[in-house]
Amino acid sequence: MEGFSPPEVFVGRHGYPIVRAGPMIPAADPGQEHSGPSLGMDIGEIIAHRASLVRSEARIGVHEAREPGRQLETAQQIAMSSAPVGTEVLFLKPPRGSLRFDGVLSPTGPAGTLKEMEITTNPVIPRRVDRIVEDPATGAATAATELYSSGINVDHISRLLSLGLLGRERKLVPTRWSITASDDMIGKSLKEAVLDKPLIGGYQLYSGEDLGNHFEILIQPGAYSFELVEIWMPRSVWSPDGFIGSDSEGPRSKKDYSSLAGGYYAARLAALERLAAMGRQASVLAVREISEDYWAPLGVWVVREVARKAMRAEPKKFTSLNEALEEIGRRIATPMGKWKPYTKLAAGTAQSSLAEFL
């Protein structure tokens, strides 16, 4: 099979520390470059796009990233590229398998055991990526932060981490782990910067919706904190009977992995990006409502990008918390009485701030 890897590589988790890893190749139009899924596409289009990608898999020990063989080194070159890479793969048998869905990963199509692999075009490797990869003395968190600051997108950073190209202890990281780890590391870096900024004045409400995901994100006066409330409406994917949950953090480091999984870190990253751009510190309440329009899970990237879409919108401003909450109540389909008890920031436990009286 020959085609342009998007570029995308996949590292599985089953059998760890011996995992299956390799690039993903489009099954049709070998001369056409394929970009990844994005907002603006409907769910059917995204699924069709993902179904056309074939996973090539070779069994690799995670620690082989330190001294990669030819196949792993080729996959690492694809991961480093910022543009699609012409790739030719030979399978032991014809790829098989049906479409698989997951809450963190994008849908994946057929897979086949890799026999040989060769790059047919030159990878486009940003200079900063090349420099960071060649510097094993830099820790993974520092490397991710430097790459992000230089304009490398989060998905690219996740690929580098997954293929064992970042950090002092080079090893393969399953893709589902690397996605959340990248969101978390970059978010922590932005959080440290935000904690040194002055407090915001007033209340700003940001709204955004796409692919059956609706966000209301309220920025309000106060020391940095972040709280996410997730509302899965009845008949939405994963939750036929509905579900409401929440998680939060304050200025100190979050001790435990979020009960809301990767979506928490993806939404937090979007909020922190906005605070960093504003040069302000604030308390953030994010409410995510998932409707039955989200009929198939597409991966945690949806959470990050819809939250970013909300934070790019022009905010509506208020002079009090109650006014802002009333507006959220009008925009969220689920009655406020059902989800408000799940949040400290909206349940009336927060004290009035001096900003309300100025």
pLDDT digits (tens, 9 = 90+) for 274-323: 999 999 999 999 999 999 999 999 999 999 999 999 999 999 999 999 99
Full strand arrangement of the beta sheet holding 203-210: 243-249, 225-232, 283-290, 213-220, 203-210, 316-318
Of 133, 159, 200, 131, nearest to 24 (Cα)? 159
Q: Is 215 helix (H, G, I), strand (E, B) or coil?
A: strand
Task: Say what the pLDDT of residue 356 is.
Answer: 41
Torsion, Cα 269 275 278 283, to 10 degrees, reads 160
Place of tokens 């580098």: 160
Whole-number Å distance between alpha carbons of 194 and 153: 20
Residue 70's identity, in one-letter code, is R
Residue by residue, DSSP assigns 99-146 as -B--SSSPPB--EEEEEEEEE-S-----HHHHHHHT-TTS-HHHHHHH
Q: Provide, rounded to the nearest whole percent, the portion of the chain with pLDDT above 70.
A: 94
Q: Evaluate if residue 39 carries a pLDDT over 60.
A: yes
Whole-number Å distance between alpha carbons of 133 and 126: 11
Whole-number Å distance between alpha carbons of 342 and 273: 25
Tokens describing residue 357? 């009286």
Per-residue confidence band for 347, with pLDDT thresholds at 50, 70 and 90? low
Q: Provide, rounded to the nearest whole percent, the portion of the chain with pLDDT above 90.
A: 81
Instruction: Give the pLDDT confidence of 208-228 residue by residue, as tens digits.
Output: 999 999 999 999 999 999 999
Q: What is the pTM of this model?
A: 0.92
Task: Say what the pLDDT of residue 240 is.
Answer: 75
* Domain assignments of the chain as residue spans, ordered by start: 2-185, 203-349
Whole-number Å distance between alpha carbons of 173 and 159: 9
Q: Evaluate if residue 34 carries a pLDDT over 80.
A: no
Q: Evaluate if residue 163 carries a pLDDT over 90.
A: yes
Which segment of 152-166, 171-185, 233-247 scores lowest on mean pLDDT? 233-247
